[in-house]
Amino acid sequence: MPLPPSGPRSTLASLAVIAAICAGAIGALAYTAGWLSPDRLTSTKLVDALAPSNGPVPGYRRNHAKGICFTGVFEANGNGAALSRARAFQTGRHPALGRFNLGTPDPGAPDATVRVRGLGLQITAEDGAVWRTAMINAPVFPVSSPEAFYALLRVPASKAPNAMAAFVAAHPEFAPFGAWAKSPDWTASYAQEPYNGLNAFLLINASGAEQAVRWSFRPQAQAERITPGDLAKRGEAYLEREIIERVAAAPQRWSLILTVAEPGDPTADPSRAWPEGRRSVEAGILVVERIEPEADGPCRDVNFDPTILPDGIRVSDDPFPAARSAAYARSYDLRTAEAKDYPRSAAEAPR
Amino acid sequence: MTADGKHFTGVQRFLHWSMAACIIAMFFIGVGMVSTIMPKYVPLLATHKTPGVAIFVLALVRLAVRARSGAPPLPADLTAPKKLAAHLSHYGLYGLMVAMPLLGWAMLSAGAYPVVLYGDIRLPAILPQNAALHTLLWNAHSYLAFAFFALVLTHVAAALFHALVRRDGVFAAMAPVGSRSGAAPR
Ligand code: HEM
Ligand code: HEM
Ligand code: HEM
């Protein structure tokens, strides 16, 4: 035995040391976990704030809840390969899976009540690398930071008079989105919308050079302008009926446009458009070949987390993708846990 | 049996301490990442996966080494229930260092997420996509993480009790460098 067992005095001191180490470890974990900082903005708070006043609809996405699946292919033309070494940009046909959706937490919301339309997309290159992105038809995002988005989500619940006016006054960046949202020219089809990534990402090419870009999928279909009033007359779920018929008649196409930032362009702020005239690269065509109902369709249980990126694309200084990733994971965890609440067949869906 | 019958071999000690550092880091990375929406969320999640899977691989190596090299006996004056507690806790620690990474990997697979480690190492899915499995595995990963943390704390407290109070050579057996015991022949 190396040393005699310690005496009573030093035993007490030793026990105190051990207790202090354990308490310190628990305290450090609690601090890291945010249990001591209730003001920290978490994914739980963001996702809770998305819920409508009568509560979230269990089993569904916490935002962009109304949607329909598609499969197809991304036909890369090789033009993007100079900017990114991701295999998805090399000439070839890469399988695609996605979801047309409406920016609402209510899966039963009538089409004409939702201005924001979205596209969730997954492109899988032949080497198996997965690229996911979720984009909307708005040309800019309403706010410049995730914190401001949280504040915006909390406006409807606010008891203060003129809460929205106060928010807009405090967030001048809201104006371009606000003007777009008020404009009456909607389109009559998911196929006629552009889908803009809004967030900036860095593309990394074969020699390791990095370049900030934003991307958009621009429709090849001609836009049929329609007012929300006329859209309402076509029915609450017209857009889904329309896209089913349209794709059954012919595949629908979008061109992927990469817009290349110049030094000084606001990469960290999706509420600010980049100046006109930026170099753009058309990197390929998304072909939507087949529509499937969301119920048990291939897109329902996919999280179109915008930080799931192949080698050759990474996040930039834009704070949104990280915040979105955290929030989408939370939404996904919740909705998969509530899978039993999701109607199993399309006929049961709340339409 | 170990070289001198009193100490874990150098390989075992190296594995023990390097993995201890990794595992403790994993607890903090895990709880830190799920409570933030800041840009660090993305690198934290990536960092969580890579050492997590490394822990899984190292744990298998470690069990193989353990099977070959064995362990020094616990002090003869330790009561039977205490010895049993020591052995059971070690089974628990080994079990969790294998199970936690597997649960994380399986949970991502069941959620149809690609599992990509540093260096663009892409792991295959070990389960098909399934909502119920995703939920089960996510709960297991989360609850067992806290059970693991509690077990590690108990283990550390017991190790320090041996080192500071009982001074019975148990700590020296695993000490990262030669102990003060003088009884540790190199
Ligand atoms: C901090 C800001 C944001 C938050 C908190 C947020 C939140 C969410 C949540 C919780 C979902 C449901 C995810 C799921 O369950 O799978 C979702 C879906 C979606 N979001 Fe966001 N979002 C944000 C920003 C954006 C931005 C900037 C865009 C567009 C550029 C966008 C476009 C979409 C689209 C298209 C979907 C549907 C994807 C799908 O079909 O699964 N979001 N969002
Ligand atoms: C010894 C190994 C590991 C430990 C100790 C560990 C620990 C943790 C902890 C403490 C959390 C937070 C749980 C909570 O606060 O509720 C967590 C979450 C998570 N872990 Fe691990 N983990 C390990 C390995 C892995 C591995 C290998 C992977 C994946 C390959 C993984 C994937 C995840 C994911 C994805 C989450 C977040 C889940 C979500 O937000 O949906 N973990 N982990
Ligand atoms: C994540 C952290 C840790 C894990 C998972 C862990 C795991 C283990 C395991 C499985 C054993 C049993 C070895 C065997 O019999 O095969 C062991 C032994 C030991 N550990 Fe740890 N350990 C951790 C941290 C620590 C720390 C921080 C200390 C010191 C304060 C420590 C001190 C010891 C000692 C002294 C032994 C030897 C016990 C004996 O002779 O049976 N461990 N550890």
**pLDDT, tens digit, 9 for 90 and up, residues B104-132:** 999 999 999 999 999 999 999 999 999 99
**Shortest CA gap B68–chain A (Å):** 26
Q: Taking residues A68-89, what's their average pLDDT?
A: 98
What is the reported pLDDT for A348?
52
Ligand having the closest approach to the CA of B118: 2
Interchain contact B160–A (C-beta under 8 A) = yes
pLDDT band at A8 (very low <50, low <70, confident <90, very high): confident
Residue A108 · residue A70 · CB < 8 Å:
no
Contact A5 B181 (CB under 8 A): no
**Shortest CA gap A309–chain B (Å):** 10
Residue B42 · residue A43 · CB < 8 Å:
no
Structural domain boundaries enclosing B107: 10-174
Chain B residues 71-110 with a CB less than 8 Å from chain A? none
Q: pLDDT tens, B8-52?
A: 999 999 999 999 999 999 999 999 999 999 999 999 999 999 999
Is position B186 within any domain? no
Nearest-5° Cα angle at B152, B146 to B158: 140
Tally Cβ neighbours within 10 Å of residue B173: 25
Residue A279 · residue A80 · CB < 8 Å:
no
Strand partners, A180: none
Tell me the chain A residues in contact with residue B179 when contact means C-beta distances shorter than 8 Å.
Answer: 2
Q: pLDDT tens, A166-216?
A: 999 999 999 999 999 999 889 999 999 999 999 999 999 999 999 999 999
d(CA B175, ligand 3 centre) in Å: 10
Q: pLDDT tens, B55-113?
A: 999 999 999 999 999 999 999 999 999 999 999 999 999 999 999 999 999 999 999 99
Is position B5 within any domain? no
Instruction: Among B41, B108, B155, pick the best mutation site for testing chain A contact (most A Cβ within 10 A).
Output: B41
Q: Is A20 exposed, middle or buried (0-12, 13-18, 19+ CB in 10 A)?
A: exposed
What is the reported pLDDT for B1?
46
CATH number of the structural domain spanning residue B126? 1.20.950
Q: Which residue lies with its CA nearest to atom 14 of ligand 2?
A: B142
Tell me the chain A residues in contact with residue B153 when contact means C-beta distances shorter than 8 Å.
Answer: 22, 25-26
d(CA B156, ligand 3 centre) in Å: 7
Contact A6 B38 (CB under 8 A): no
pLDDT(B151) > 90 = yes
pLDDT(B180) > 70 = no
Ligand 3, pocket-test mutation among B65, B93, B153, most atoms within 8 A of CB: B93
pLDDT band at A159 (very low <50, low <70, confident <90, very high): confident
- Across chain B, mean pLDDT equals 93
DSSP-H helix ranges across B70-178 = 80-110, 131-160, 170-174
Q: Is the ipTM above a cut-off of 0.85? A: yes
Q: Is A305 exposed, middle or buried (0-12, 13-18, 19+ CB in 10 A)?
A: buried
Is position B181 within any domain? no
Interchain contact B168–A (C-beta under 8 A) = yes
At B171, list the tokens: 């700590």
pLDDT band at A302 (very low <50, low <70, confident <90, very high): very high
CA distances, B118 to each of A209, B28, B54, B115 (Å)? 19, 19, 11, 10
How many structural domains are present in chain B? Answer: 1
* Nearest ligand 3 atom, CA B86: 41
Q: CA-to-CA distance for A173 and A343, rounded, in angstroms? A: 40
What is the reported pLDDT for B17?
97
Q: pLDDT tens, A125-146?
A: 988 999 999 999 999 999 999 9
Residue A118 · residue A80 · CB < 8 Å:
no
Q: CA-to-CA distance for B16 and B62, rounded, in angstroms? A: 8
Tell me the chain B residues in contact with residue A41 when contact means C-beta distances shorter than 8 Å.
Answer: 37
Helix (H, G, I), strand (E, B), or coil: what is residue A293?
Answer: coil
Contact B135 A42 (CB under 8 A): no
What is the reported pLDDT for A286?
98
This prediction has a pTM of: 0.94
Is position B180 within any domain? no
pLDDT(A276) > 90 = yes
At position B79, the amino acid (one-letter code) is T
Is position B183 within any domain? no
